[in-house]
Structure 1
Amino acid sequence: MSSRSRARDTIRLTGLTATGHHGVFDFEKREGQIFQVDAALTLDFSAAGRSDDLADTVSYVEIAELIHAAIVGKPFDLIEALADHLAREILRTDERLAAAEVTVHKPEAPLTQSFHDVSVTARRDRTDIDRTDIAAPQDLAQRPGADPDAAPSTEVTSVLALGSNLGESAVTLASAVAALERAEQVRVLRQSPIAKTSPVGGPAAQPDFHNQVIEIATTLSPHALLAQTQQIEQDHHRARGAENGEVRWGPRTLDIDIITYGPERISSLTLQVPHPRAGTRGFVLVPWSWMDPQAQLDGTPVAELARHAADAPGVEPLESLR
């Protein structure tokens, strides 16, 4: 029996507050107002209860980051749409989540009557996500590599995001790109300028990150590409997992994430593509937009997503862009 089928535990976030620009009226989108979000996540965290290891549960820091980015991000007309979007995106962050309940509060709603709050609640479970992610048979036939262990018949373009904030980070990123250039079945097509970014989540006292986005062409399967990037991380002294002293979103010598793999949507225990949080992370989106101003992620221009990312103001080029 899977842990998801045994899910009866709950993680709650209550009263996460930020200013957003959601609403039907023009002045709501122009001036903005306060929104609050409560989220209840259903899962089985008995393994974490026994191990006391963050790797065995879902990080509420990650969920809070996603919620905040949605509140301050692309405006919705209806809070119903915002709640639905959040519930689905939360479930997509981790396959161990069985259900998500999201309540969006709009305490400054444009009502003439005296009131305390207006809120809506969306309840979504894994079947809602599974239904929306099922492609038509003809689409699957046109998408080689949907199986994460199957190598594509022709080269696939993939976008990778690199980050480092320990040691000589700029040197480390250059070394990682060089390692990818030497790797079999991988060609580096282009790379962004290096960005200096403020840390997002994790311990407050840690050095700024250096981030870079690169585009490659590869005939490796998704899982083989993941193995290749993790080997490069290991070669640069990356220690994965809490048992090796790694803190989630903490300092690290090198981090390589697979953001896209052609047009594929991949969901396995070790890999989710497109990366489920790439669309809210300025430290990915901003350098990506420098590298490719026409790039899109799930049909939305990357440059537009970058403008709405909460952490985008903290992303700056290490050297002046020409």
Structure 2
Amino acid sequence: MSSRSSPRDTIRLTGLTATGHHGVFDFEKREGQIFRVDAELTLDLRAAGRSDALPDTVSYVEIAELIHAAITGEPFDLIEALADHLAREILATDQRLLAAEITVHKPQAPLAQTFEDVSVTARRDRSDLPAAGDHATDSVSAAEPGPSLDPEAAPAGEVTAVLALGSNLGESAVTLASAVAALDRAEAVRVLRASPLARTSPVGGPAGQPDFHNQVLEVSTTLSPHALLACTQAIEQDHHRARGVENGEVRWGPRTLDIDIITYGRARISSITLQVPHPRAGIRGFVLVPWTWMDPRAQLDGTPVAELARQAADAKSVERLESVR
């Protein structure tokens, strides 16, 4: 009897629905319509089955958020491109994912005929992703992510992390300057360098919200990943950030201050509260473009940040403001 190969277990998200503006016609981008996405993710669930512990599996909450952000974010002309983008982006969030099958439904497609649905399906596996290490560099922030790290464990020495800041309520430029100063004053954190400010259009979320001010920082810290997260969230709260729907915050909506941990050294972290590298950083022009201003040689998951920035759908909306550091 032959031994069993690695199992091909599945996580499915079916019928995730949101309004997007994808399509080749101007009225589709202007008026928007309903899109529905089904995701089938292939991975090995044996560890999670034995441990009954969330860190041993892939968070479907994060996957659902990524799908929602793609549907409601910057538009694609073709749903083929949206499906391809989602499949690759989902695979890039976690090395434990072996393959992703994404079906994008467009039930209100502009057809003259009577129909129930139009859909496309993209199937991608890890061979479809860029090989890590294809772009060598000696930049500090360019190292490929290493093995998984205990997010509660303090590092043996200083670790360099990249943070992304955003604000679109109140005096946003003042808020970001205050947040940078607060990080530099925080125990066991030093701000090494900061990008110029950027003004960017909102991506996803409710219509009509103000433009964002964004900034990317490189910091050095001896805090554990979760301790650094607690530090950034405390600074958000000091600037009147209210997290969660129960506190009146709208997902992808306006906020006084948002601080995301993009990278933490070379670590990969997957916990209930923290995913590093940030699972959506590679598609966010409002993160990638300022990051290139700060460090033109930076890499994310082995790919130059400048290359990712050129591919980001919202990159053209990123406007450079004056340098602040």
Shorter-chain TM band: 0.5 to 0.7
Aligned to 1:245: 248
Aligned to 1:64: 71
Higher relative contact order structure (alpha carbons within 8 Å, sequence separation ≥ 6): 2
Q: Return 5+ residue gaps in structure 2 as ranges.
A: 1-8, 25-34, 42-60, 106-117, 133-144
Kindly state the Cα deviation for residue 233 of structure 1 after the two structures are TM-superposed: 0.3
Aligned to 1:222: 225
Aligned to 1:213: 216
Kindly state the Cα deviation for residue 257 of structure 1 after the two structures are TM-superposed: 0.2
1:293 corresponds to 2:299: no
Q: Is the 8 A contact 1:40 1:100 kept in 2?
A: no
Q: Return 5+ residue gaps in structure 1 as ranges.
A: 20-36, 44-54, 73-78, 106-116, 134-141
Aligned to 1:122: 123
| Among candidates 30, 37, 40, match of residue 39 of structure 1 | 37
How many percent identity over aligned positions? Answer: 68
Deviation per CA, 1:38-76, whole angstroms, max 9, x where unpaired?
730369xxxxxxxxxxx899345314268957979xxxx
1:162 corresponds to 2:168: no
TM-score by length of 2: 0.66
Q: Secondary structure at the match of 1:152?
A: coil
Q: How far apart, CA to CA, are the structure 2 residues paired with 1:86 and 1:181?
A: 36
Counterpart amino acid of residue 243 in structure 2: R
Aligned to 2:184: 181
My pick for the range that moved more, 83-92 or 182-191, is 83-92
Q: 1:265 to 1:71 in 2, by over 3 A?
A: farther
Counterpart amino acid of residue 225 in structure 1: L
1:305 corresponds to 2:308: yes
Instruction: Name the Cα RMSD after superposition.
Output: 4.3
My pick for the range that moved more, 184-193 or 298-307, is 298-307
Deviation per CA, 1:227-276, whole angstroms, max 9, x where unpaired?
10000000100000001110011110000000001111111111111111
Q: How far apart, CA to CA, are the structure 2 residues paired with 1:6 and 1:122?
A: 14
Counterpart amino acid of residue 39 in structure 2: L
Aligned to 1:317: 320
Q: 1:307 to 1:253 in 2, by over 3 A?
A: same
Counterpart amino acid of residue 123 in structure 2: A
Q: 1:57 to 1:291 in 2, by over 3 A?
A: closer
Q: Is the 8 A contact 1:39 1:100 kept in 2?
A: no
Q: Secondary structure at the match of 2:207?
A: coil
Counterpart amino acid of residue 61 in structure 1: H
Aligned to 1:266: 269
Q: Secondary structure at the match of 1:58?
A: helix
Q: How many residues align?
A: 258
